[in-house]
Structure 1
Amino acid sequence: MTHYRLFRRAALAGALALPILTTGCGLFSQEASQSIDPPQNSTQNVSGNAADNGTTAAVNQKDQTQMTVYLKDHNGLLAPVTVLASLGGAEKAGQKALELMVDGGSSAKEIPEGFQAIIPKGTTVKNFTIVPDQKLAVVDFSKSFAMYTAAEERQIVEAVTWTLTGMPGINKVDIWMEGKKLAQMPVNGLPMDGPLTRSVGINLQAADGVNYSQSTPVTLYFSAVTPNNESYYVPVTRLVNRSDNKAKSAIQQLINGPLVTDPLTAVITPDVVVKSVTKKNDIITVELQDNAYQEGQQEPAEMLQAVVLALTENTTATKVQIKLNGKTNIIDTNNQSYSEPVSRPEHVNAFKS
């Protein structure tokens, strides 16, 4: 039985070569794509914080900027995609990100194969401002923004919200059109009475047997594969029965895996047990039990990174300490040490050129 479980672990690791890190001849340099905080005695400079959720950053590399935008994948789900784009001296990163998300726009060549921009064709960003003391981004779209179908409405809201709230200093978003603030979306009337936050969720679904009146949302990260056979993370907001430990519920759902109807792949084998999840100050500690684990063996990087993504998404923690069978001396398949608490990956789904 132990050999079988170890085989399944190896198969999982091989199936999930997620491009959260790109090196060598990849699209981004190794420095910009380092995903997890190095040990404290390292000289590398990597950051992730609660203000920007660590999911989007603008890092100047010569004349280009690395940023993460949310696009529709070939399965019809939204996924974060880190792209490299030119940013002039007067351009704002948030506005540039939104322009990248316009279907058929001038930056269409930057969109990887298998992904599609979600904002309607012909849309322009007429104005983009940030209210620093409110951590609020205000975006004013042209009238072409309303040229979408009712079925696309929620995805557009989710994509705009998650892209902008992933940027430093932005926690909330107001959407305007032609100089007027929208109280609801123009096609199907999705209400927007107040500023949008990540509480709108993304790729919404419900767990089997959930009681909707007693439910709470948790955001999880599973895997999918591009037409070019590159794996990537897909966030899913799942309604689950309410619990006094939302973070623990999130990790349990991560272990439960995708719903049977999802075109997604699990990142953790189902025999892993979550024993506890506790938070102290800005560090959250998760204790996992896996009887197949042998001390010193490498754990799949994709599994550990998915745990970090889920815990920082569902709590205010900025760092995650992972314990496996009571030990913290964990090394992943990228030779990254998890002996100390780590921050959320700074860039997600940076595909190779």
Structure 2
Amino acid sequence: MIHVVRWLLLPVSLLYAAVVWLRNRMYDLQILKSTSFDLPVVVIGNLAVGGTGKSPMTEYVLSTLKQRRNIAVVSRGYGRKTKGFRIVKTTDQSVSVGDEPLQIKRKFPETEVIVCEDRVLAIKQLRDTVDGVLLDDAFQHRALKPSFVILLFDYASLLQPILPLPTGNFRDTLVESRRSDVIVVTKCPDHVDPSVKSVIASRLSRYSHSPIFYAKTAYGHLKNAQGAHFDDKLLADTHVLLVTGIANPKPMASYLTQRVKNVKHLRYNDHHHFTQREFTEISNTFRKIGREQKIIVTTEKDFQRIPSSFLDRHPVYFLPIEQAILFGEAPQLNTEIEKAFQSGSVN
């Protein structure tokens, strides 16, 4: 039924695509002005709505550079209840700064993480104190002209028709990929057939000559609030209550289903702010799992939104993920990232 309704909205999608196209051309023709800076400003973005792995890619970039660069991360802080420029601290709550910026700050405590709706304003306040700026999800923020763009595509989305919102999931047309400097196709299967890889490369090369890299989601060890790992040897006999508030939890659910005794899934919307009533629901659902060997598992992003009072009373673990670059091409991507933070302003 949902698919039928989305197709009925195709005229709205065409109108949306026309408006987006016109807006982009106005920036290209400098009718609408973009601001550039005399320091590296690297954007990680996508054309679709959510779910392409921007946060893991942000962490990948920081892991590549953190020992050699003083890089600040700037994010809108989606879902936060505050406004304006704010420096993220490890002790913050997700409602104040957003779950993804808080996750990055806690994982990279030495990195300056900022949330601000106005990215240009944020960079103006940072530019005298950092060597470069990394922006999460700012591809459509055309008031800012980056020096380098890492554009992400979900693997499955490139094997389907590219349709604009609301019929499809794309907020920009494929032609905008020409503004990229590097393209990373994320969430690939373990083995990408060469013929499929060729189809994807052919589709993207119509608009962009940027190098294309392929990445899969690599899962780490289950970890709790104290940083202790769950014993992998016990997984096969463990019952899991999976709690997610992300755009696409299916890969994670599938991963766990193959490794644990049983998975019961409570699914919420992306960036969902859990209420006390919902925590009670989670607690009651967990209690009804009539097995001794049981745990609650969530994503690292959702983990930032769970209060310590709940964590103290339940065995909650999060499953870390990272981008694993395929075909042995991580060194080439790392070289591109290094070059990105050596570049200067955009003319």
TM-score tier by shorter-chain length is under 0.3
More helix by share: 2
State which structure, 1 or 2, has the greater radius of gyration over its C-alpha atoms: 2
TM-score calculated relative to the size of structure 1: 0.26
More strand by share: 1
